[in-house]
Structure 1
Amino acid sequence: MNLHQLLSLLVLALFVNSCTNTNQETKRPNVVIIFLDDSGYSDFAPFGQTSFETPNVKKLAEEGIMFKNFYVPQAVCSASRSALISGCYPGRTKVFSAHGPGDRGLETTFPTIGEVFKNAGYKTALFGKWHCGDQPETRPHNRGFEETCGLMYSNDMWKHHPESPEYWGQWPLKYWENGEVTIENVDSTDQKMLTKWYTEHAVDFISKHKDEPFLLYVPHAMSHVPLFCSPEFEGKSGAGLYGDVIAELDWSVGQINKALKDNGIEDNTIVIFSSDNGPWIAYGNHAGTTPFREAKGTTFDGGTRSATIIKYPAKLKGNQQSSQALMTIDLLPTLCEVANIPLPETGIDGKNVWDIIAGKPNAANPHDYYAFTNDREFQAIMSGDGKWKLHLPHNYRTMTDIKGKDGMPGKYDYSAKIELSLFDMENDPYETTNVILEHTEIAEDLLGYAEIHKKKFFSEN
């Protein structure tokens, strides 16, 4: 080989290497969001001491980052899910609480994460519980998700509801696939298969679209009551039916993680694992656990703090933990930033928090505050760094001595009330001691932000 040929080969090799590096740098990441329903903060081994193993969530935590102070703005299904997919507070979208059959849900004027990513050339899918609208225009197959299956609302909104069967029995619980009803009236046999069906669809979607960027949203129906799991998991956890359900959800996480690895796209895929709110403790042994105060349906951390893991091997070092405060409204703008996708022109409330997720030195939360609502009432506000939380005076529900068992709910006391209270969340994450008299300046600052938030989103009230 002469010198001219050698130089030509060298130039060609440099060109190929340059193209390869460019492709690797410009390849957009895939996104997988696994969103559980009513899962307790302590339900999985990385976050709590469970009586049985959850190896797949534990593995995900080892490969990613555990976020111990990750919040939802409202601890109820529809409000929480709409905030995730829109990047907006419930006060902006007016999606509060849990919507029922036929409800409008999230208005089409608010772009969903499915629409944003689909418009940017991503393949998109949703397999699971939607609960963000049950009218033709507001169902997921018309909100940017190209492949879909699942329920339009909660799995307890059916004829076997433990307290109001006649009311909920007015509407059949339908199972949808790609915009068509495939099961007219879901029964218990079908409910047992929900987690498995969603998982199988997710794995198939990953395999089909491994060579193109995709957004996969898996909002599970479990562990919302009524509890069901497939026959393979019945009685296997040794921790009752709730344990069996959590074990199957853990299996689902493992199957999705394995599909990413088997298809060679694990490194370039962002995986987010979280829950829409804390446990529904009225159901006793059919509910999860949280170490924090109260639970679902309140603005205390037992309702709004969700165990969360984010994994992205190409950019994030694994086996890490973060105590930085973040919220679901931040996911849409952050994922758009990482994927180089323009944000929707309509207003959103979340902010890009990639520097915090990536653990960059001295990264500060861009929010002055995070706000929390319960139904239509603005009840609490937290400093953006998560160090301080101020509860405005409000009533809340708390459990009585009548506990739920085996699918029947216990009784709430709705007369509990909290006065204007400031909590030091670093030293008192369980919100036990009101320190407002010791830190009046901090309370005044948060009250100022609360007034701003009220004027922006609740001025009509």
Structure 2
Amino acid sequence: MNPLKKLSLLIAFVAFSIQITKAQATLQKPNIILIYVDDLGYGDIGVNGAVGVKTPNIDFLAKNGVNFSDAHCSASTCTPSRYSLLTGSHAFRSQAAILQGDAPLLINPKQGSLASMLKKAGYATGVVGKWHLGLGNGTLDWNQEISPGPREIGFDYSFLIPATGDRVPCVFVENQKVVGLDPNDPMKVSYGERIEGGYPIGTENPDLLRVDADTQHKNAVINGVSRIGFMSGGKKALWTDEDFPFVLTQKATSFIEKNKTKPFFLFYAYHDIHVPRLPHQKFQGKSSMGARGDVIAQMDWCTGEIMKKLKAEGLDKNTMIIFTSDNGPILQDGYADKAAEMVGNHKPAGIYTGTKYSIYEGGNRVPTIVYWNGTVKPKKSAALLSQIDLYASLAAFLKQEIPAGDAPDSQNFMDSWLGKSNKGREYLLEEGFTYALRKGDWKYIKPTKSNGADWMKNKQIDSGHRIEKRLFNLKTDIKETKNLAAEHPDILKELEQKLNDIITSKIQH
């Protein structure tokens, strides 16, 4: 054979081999789907003891993956937990709190995010569902393209409920534009003064309401439900609450299909089981607990649809599913949907004390499952973990360096997330309108100026706030009832000092 031809063939073979190697390297990166449920308590799924509702799809993930018993969101409310999850930074560092529906983007685009890190690692990135992290720069015009938003912090695609279902605006936002907005019917949103010519007000029009609500939730009436905040215009763009599971799941599965030939990261943030709880007719009566139980069944269906799509596309063995919740459960949260009256023997937080808004364990010890068919072996894990660590863990797994100042509070526990290790955090900080610090079975709760805000008492919850220092041993007192501060002053001092060190540490993003 001609030497020149031999050389050409050799070059072609080497080039082909390099392409194969690159393709194999790409395929070795698993797709990552982070399913983030809203207000789902530790005991709200079947494998963790749910009564009165079945969750077969979630139970499948738990029984065939790693089911964690001591994994936590970072705070007992939604915006702070979402902020920490995506930034690897404690929420208090940015004064993150529950946002109004017209708040500016909370995450600084100059700050690294879980999405931007994965994008640098070669992933297509998408977010579908509840956002509640703010949009725009403080002068938000809903009738124009919204910026900054998910795109500016690393998401290639977004389809959002801008805040939550109980807050205006009641429209979807896709790729930072309101979906279906008629330019001849411009939108206005206000969280201060009511808008002249806007939607009816719940306090003035009780006959329009399908479900009664407290005063906070009795502003703009849309789809027969009164919300927080005022709104006008955008009539053709308004959502129908009952359609959430179908609209959002269709967008999620479409993202999977469009990106099936390359690694993708999908952050699917369910609206369920947040208020207003308005299950679609398909799921009404699926539980013995009324609307709250029915939307748990609805949420489980959504999970099953994602699993079915992965299998149909041949992606089920190369996709890591992380299933968890943004905070603990709540029964009475603004709407008279009989959740408290119909709960029966079901214990939303399982054996733990506390709810959403609370500093007790039930406020942020949440269902957490990691499933990766054929890679992660079935296991129950008691590793002490926080969602704030997913950033550093996935970065280490994908060999991505984290720039100085990014993800300052995140730690690498990837082996634990995958069930290869039982190692957890030495210290774990919890937020819930005060602070708590875990070390093993020991838990210190920072004292507050009062024994709980009136608005929390109106929700029939115990916030866990007390004016005295408290120390619990969860091994012998899982209900957090016996204060051991006086009996163990050395442990109290250690945890108090460590907590203070974390809170006062200066982190520059």
Q: Determine if the TM-score, normalized by the shorter chain, exceeds 0.5.
A: yes
Q: Is the 8 A contact 2:71 2:367 kept in 1?
A: yes
> Tell me, what secondary structure is at the counterpart of 1:23?
helix
- Aligned CA RMSD, in angstroms, stands at 3.1
Determine the structure 2 residue equivalent to 1:302: 362
1:431 aligns with 2:480: yes
> Tell me, what secondary structure is at the counterpart of 1:337?
helix
Q: Distance in 2 between matches of 1:56 and 1:267?
A: 17
Q: Distance in 2 between matches of 1:449 and 1:353?
A: 21
Aligned pairs (5 A) from 1:180-199: 184-186=237-239, 190-199=240-249
**Aligned-pair CA distance for 1:258:** 1.6
Aligned pairs (5 A) from 1:360-399: 360=420, 364-365=423-424, 367-375=425-433, 377=434, 379-383=435-439, 386-394=440-448, 395=450, 397=452
> Tell me, what secondary structure is at the counterpart of 1:192?
helix
Q: Is the 8 A contact 2:289 2:339 kept in 1?
A: no
Determine the structure 2 residue equivalent to 1:228: 278
Q: 1:338-365 CA distances to partner (integer Å, 9 max, x unpaired)?
A: 223332443321101012223445x533
Letter in 2 for 1:370: L
Q: Distance in 1 between matches of 2:151 and 2:99?
A: 20
**Aligned-pair CA distance for 1:154:** 1.4
1:127 aligns with 2:137: no
Determine the structure 1 residue equivalent to 2:215: 163
Given the alignment, which residue of 238, 248, 261 partners 2:298? Answer: 248
In structure 2, do the counterparts of structure 1 residues 422 and 163 end up closer, same or farther at CA, with 3 Å as the change threshold? same
Q: Distance in 2 between matches of 1:87 and 1:396?
A: 30
Determine the structure 2 residue equivalent to 1:69: 70
Aligned pairs (5 A) from 1:406-417: 410=459, 417=466
Query: Which stretches in structure 2 are left out of the alignment for 5+ residues?
Result: 1-12, 137-145, 169-200, 203-212, 221-226, 341-346
**Aligned-pair CA distance for 1:304:** 1.1
Given the alignment, which residue of 325, 328, 333 partners 2:384? Answer: 325
Report the number of matched residues: 422
Determine the structure 2 residue equivalent to 1:274: 324
Q: Distance in 1 between matches of 2:320 and 2:235?
A: 31
Letter in 1 for 2:219: E
Query: Which stretches in structure 1 are left out of the alignment for 5+ residues?
Result: 1-11, 175-180, 403-408
1:139 aligns with 2:152: no
Aligned pairs (5 A) from 1:312-351: 312-318=372-378, 320-348=379-407, 349-351=409-411
Determine the structure 2 residue equivalent to 1:4: none
In structure 2, do the counterparts of structure 1 residues 219 and 27 end up closer, same or farther at CA, with 3 Å as the change threshold? same
In structure 2, do the counterparts of structure 1 residues 399 and 277 end up closer, same or farther at CA, with 3 Å as the change threshold? farther
Q: Distance in 2 between matches of 1:37 and 1:273?
A: 11
Q: Could you tell me the TM-score, scaled by structure 1's length?
A: 0.83
In structure 2, do the counterparts of structure 1 residues 415 and 372 end up closer, same or farther at CA, with 3 Å as the change threshold? closer
Q: Is the 8 A contact 1:97 1:374 kept in 2?
A: no
**Aligned-pair CA distance for 1:67:** 0.7
Q: Is the 8 A contact 2:456 2:463 kept in 1?
A: no
**Aligned-pair CA distance for 1:433:** 1.4
Q: 1:101-132 CA distances to partner (integer Å, 9 max, x unpaired)?
A: 23442222322222222233211111100111
**Aligned-pair CA distance for 1:30:** 0.8
In structure 2, do the counterparts of structure 1 residues 261 and 451 end up closer, same or farther at CA, with 3 Å as the change threshold? same
Q: Is the 8 A contact 1:298 1:397 kept in 2?
A: no
In structure 2, do the counterparts of structure 1 residues 55 and 418 end up closer, same or farther at CA, with 3 Å as the change threshold? farther
Determine the structure 1 residue equivalent to 2:489: 440
In structure 2, do the counterparts of structure 1 residues 109 and 251 end up closer, same or farther at CA, with 3 Å as the change threshold? same
**Aligned-pair CA distance for 1:99:** 4.1
Q: Distance in 2 between matches of 1:352 and 1:218?
A: 23
**Aligned-pair CA distance for 1:96:** 2.4
Q: Is the 8 A contact 2:42 2:365 kept in 1?
A: yes
Given the alignment, which residue of 261, 264, 272 partners 1:214? Answer: 264
Q: Is the 8 A contact 1:282 1:399 kept in 2?
A: no
- Larger strand percent: 1
Q: Distance in 1 between matches of 2:489 and 2:497?
A: 12
Letter in 2 for 1:145: F
53-62 or 160-169, larger mean C-alpha shift = 160-169
In structure 2, do the counterparts of structure 1 residues 285 and 68 end up closer, same or farther at CA, with 3 Å as the change threshold? farther
Q: Is the 8 A contact 2:121 2:398 kept in 1?
A: no
Letter in 2 for 1:341: Q
In structure 2, do the counterparts of structure 1 residues 302 and 169 end up closer, same or farther at CA, with 3 Å as the change threshold? closer
Q: 1:228-276 CA distances to partner (integer Å, 9 max, x unpaired)?
A: 2222112233431111111110011111112112222222211011110
**Aligned-pair CA distance for 1:331:** 0.6
Aligned pairs (5 A) from 1:81-100: 81-100=82-101
Given the alignment, which residue of 186, 201, 204 partners 2:251? Answer: 201
**Aligned-pair CA distance for 1:317:** 0.6
> Tell me, what secondary structure is at the counterpart of 2:69?
strand
Q: Could you tell me the TM-score, scaled by structure 2's length?
A: 0.75
Letter in 1 for 2:417: I
In structure 2, do the counterparts of structure 1 residues 64 and 396 end up closer, same or farther at CA, with 3 Å as the change threshold? farther
